[in-house]
């Protein structure tokens, strides 16, 4: 039996939810309230695990009646930790992880708690895919609401560009369907506007024919000319090549020379989804730099996804913005920033935009950064709480050197949700329209 909540409306919810409603004193709460990133202690007043849209609606109404702020938790990968709320209600959607692939309509239906990896596996059985990011454990809802950039983005656009419709529970508990012709303002805002506009209980996503791809990792020693050329080569490649390039402290992996462990290394992750026979030509400019490691090979698309963490107990920070394709001088600054990192895990991540991402108008969705060249993110992580301050200081210093501490930013890679962060994610007319949609539909969640 759950511990009875002090809020009468939550007690009623406890009667309906049984052991799927936990309170702050439930022994199972800490494990279920944990997210991928750790930090200041946050103890929710309650955590509800709905199984149906009707139960989500009941939980939203109960929170409103109790005057309790609430937030939604799906994959738990928010860098800003916005899916856990001190003293509020967490709506944990992980029991709503159903996925249905409709071959005829080429639409994948995912419940609000489904993960990218599970969906990709299910769609892959039909030779179909919707592009997400690079990590299987990321929640589809959180990813799509902010954007979704990954292995198919230059071919198919961001994940949000493939959203065909959604079911949403609004802040007053009403359930609405949204799509291009239904609640169009809400549909506009859900595509890139981030969380906070209700609980998305179902996403309908367009699927594309995607069977074997040629993809994997290439690594080089930390040479600024190589970094510059590799990023430029991906940017100039046909749209069927998507990729990202990391400058990072090399992990002690057996496939990397031992003298590089703990030192900066350049690692690209690429995915060619065009005709396999063309892969060698497309990848030739990357291979021309004699990679130390070349693990690129033909594989079924789902094999591009590693598992990924559910909870990692990691602390640290990210800083994100957009840059040009770095020339050798800018690349040298990036490599030097990683060389001087005080974080055990430190990286500069360069995601090459362009292709289909850039073909949608900047104001057509709430993702305002389509004309940018490279999404550049710095991340510093540690599992040691007493190193957190040093790691944060390094991220802050590196972000100033690389100039991603200002200007436009991708909401899903921000590690804060302060007004100044949100102004970077939603600048100008996008921000104005998003505020109007929030005023119309009501804001919910930790960032409301
Ligand atoms: C290891 C790792 C790899 C990543 N890789 C990529 C990548 O390749 N590409 C990329 O674009 N991003 C990537 N991200 C960033 C990721 O897109 C965001 O962190 C995203 O918000 C995570 O969604 P989630 O559901 O897992 O997280 P959560 O923490 O559960 O949710 C994130 C936000 O969305 C809200 N939310 C979640 N579900 C719902 C719902 N059903 N309805 C309404 N609101 C909801 C939450 O309240 C919260 O505010 C990565 C993050 C990590 C940690």
Per-residue pLDDT of the chain (448 residues; tens, 9 = 90+): 444 445 777 888 999 999 999 999 999 999 999 999 988 889 999 999 999 999 999 999 999 999 999 999 999 999 999 999 999 999 999 999 999 999 999 999 999 999 999 999 999 999 999 999 999 999 999 999 999 999 999 999 999 999 999 999 999 999 999 999 999 999 999 999 999 999 999 999 999 999 999 999 999 999 999 999 999 999 999 999 999 999 999 999 999 999 999 999 999 999 999 999 999 999 999 999 999 999 999 999 999 987 666 566 889 999 999 999 999 999 999 999 999 998 889 999 999 999 999 999 999 999 999 999 999 999 999 999 999 999 999 999 999 999 999 999 999 999 988 999 999 999 999 999 999 999 999 887 654 4
Q: Which domain holds residue 120?
A: 99-209
Domain for residue 106, yes or no?
Answer: yes
Residue 38's pLDDT is what?
A: 86
Domain for residue 443, yes or no?
Answer: no
Q: What is the DSSP letter of 162?
A: G
Round to whole Å and give the CA distance between 338 and 43: 34
Q: What is the CATH number of the domain that holds 111?
A: 3.30.465.10
381 and 234 together in one domain: yes
The residue whose CA has the least distance to atom 7 of ligand 1 is: 133
Q: What is the CATH number of the domain that holds 58?
A: 3.30.43.10
> What are φ and ψ of residue 323, in 5° steps?
-135, 175
H or E segment to which residue 163 belongs? strand 163-169
The residue whose CA has the least distance to atom 51 of ligand 1 is: 77
Using DSSP, state whether 72 is helix, strand or coil.
strand
Three-state SS for 111-122 is ECCCEHHHHHHH
325 and 198 together in one domain: no
239 and 318 together in one domain: yes
**Tokens (6 digits) for 295:** 């693990």
Q: DSSP readout, 270-282?
A: EEE-S-GGGHHHH
Domain for residue 438, yes or no?
Answer: no
22 and 112 together in one domain: no
Q: What is the CATH number of the domain that holds 280?
A: 3.40.462.20
Residue 447's pLDDT is what?
A: 45
Residue 3's pLDDT is what?
A: 46
Instruction: Give yes or no for residue 142 CB within 6 A of ligand 1.
Output: yes
Instruction: Give yes or no for residue 279 CB within 6 A of ligand 1.
Output: no
- CA separation (Å) from 195 to 52, 74, 80, 117, 375? 20, 11, 12, 21, 20
Instruction: Give yes or no for residue 445 CB within 6 A of ligand 1.
Output: yes
Round to whole Å and give the CA distance between 3 and 321: 45
396 and 327 together in one domain: yes
* Helix 279-287, helix 224-236: angle, nearest 10: 160
288 and 299 together in one domain: yes
Domain for residue 221, yes or no?
Answer: yes
**Atom number, ligand 1, closest to the C-alpha of residue 417:** 49
224 and 290 together in one domain: yes
Instruction: Give yes or no for residue 93 CB within 6 A of ligand 1.
Output: yes
Whether 352 and 231 have beta carbons less than 8 Å apart is answered as yes
Round to whole Å and give the CA distance between 427 and 421: 10
305 and 367 together in one domain: yes
CB atoms within 10 A of CB 439: 9
Domain for residue 153, yes or no?
Answer: yes
> What are φ and ψ of residue 351, in 5° steps?
-105, 125
Ligand 1 centre and the CA of 15: distance in Å? 31
The residue whose CA has the least distance to atom 28 of ligand 1 is: 76
Instruction: Give yes or no for residue 351 CB within 6 A of ligand 1.
Output: no
Instruction: Give yes or no for residue 169 CB within 6 A of ligand 1.
Output: no
H or E segment to which residue 167 belongs? strand 163-169
239 and 273 together in one domain: yes
Residue 5's pLDDT is what?
A: 44
Instruction: Give yes or no for residue 64 CB within 6 A of ligand 1.
Output: no
382 and 410 together in one domain: yes
78 and 218 together in one domain: no
67 and 103 together in one domain: no
Last residue of a domain, one of 70, 94, 118: 94
């Amino acid at each position: 039996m759950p511990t009875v909540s002090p809020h009468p409306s939550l007690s009623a919810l406890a009667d309906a939810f049984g052991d799927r409603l936990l309170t702050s004193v439930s022994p199972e709460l800490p494990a279920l309230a944990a997210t991928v990133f750790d930090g200041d202690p946050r103890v929710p007043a309650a955590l509800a695990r709905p199984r149906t849209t009707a139960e989500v609606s009941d939980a939203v109404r109960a929170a409103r009646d109790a005057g309790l702020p609430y937030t939604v938790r799906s994959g738990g990968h928010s860098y800003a930790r916005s899916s856990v709320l001190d003293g509020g209600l967490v709506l944990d959607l992980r029991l709503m992880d159903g996925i249905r692939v409709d071959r005829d309509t080429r639409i994948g239906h995912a419940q609000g708690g489904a993960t990218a990896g599970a969906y990709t596996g299910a769609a892959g059985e039909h030779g179909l895919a919707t592009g997400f990011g690079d990590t299987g454990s990321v929640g589809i809802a959180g990813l799509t609401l902010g954007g979704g950039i990954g292995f198919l983005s230059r071919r198919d656009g961001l994940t949000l560009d493939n959203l065909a419709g959604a079911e949403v529970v609004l802040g007053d508990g009403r359930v609405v369907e949204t799509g291009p012709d239904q609640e169009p303002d809400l549909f506009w805002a859900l595509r890139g506007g981030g969380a906070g506009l209700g609980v998305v209980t179902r996403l309908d996503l367009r699927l594309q024919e995607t069977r074997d791809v040629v993809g994997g990792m290439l690594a080089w020693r930390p040479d600024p000319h190589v970094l510059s050329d590799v990023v430029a080569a991906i940017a100039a490649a046909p749209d069927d090549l998507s990729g990202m390039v990391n400058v990072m402290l090399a992990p002690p992996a057996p496939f990397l020379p031992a003298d590089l462990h703990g030192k900066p290394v350049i690692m690209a992750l690429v995915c060619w989804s065009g005709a396999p026979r063309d892969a060698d030509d497309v990848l030739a400019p990357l291979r021309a730099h004699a990679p130390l490691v070349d693990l690129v090979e033909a594989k079924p698309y789902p094999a591009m996804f590693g598992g990924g963490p559910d909870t990692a107990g990691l602390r640290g920070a990210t800083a994100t913005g957009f840059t040009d394709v770095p020339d050798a001088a800018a690349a040298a600054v990036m490599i030097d920033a990683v060389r001087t990192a005080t974080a055990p895990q430190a990286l500069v991540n360069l995601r090459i935009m362009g292709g289909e991402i850039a073909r949608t108008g900047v104001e057509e969705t709430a993702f305002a950064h389509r004309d940018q060249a490279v999404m550049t993110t710095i991340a510093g992580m540690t599992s040691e709480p007493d190193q957190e301050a040093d790691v944060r200081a390094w991220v802050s210093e590196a972000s100033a050197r690389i100039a991603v501490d200002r200007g436009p930013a991708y909401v899903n890679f921000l590690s804060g949700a302060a007004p100044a962060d949100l102004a970077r994610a939603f600048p100008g007319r996008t921000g104005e329209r998003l505020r109007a949609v929030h005023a119309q539909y009501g804001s919910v969640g930790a960032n409301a």
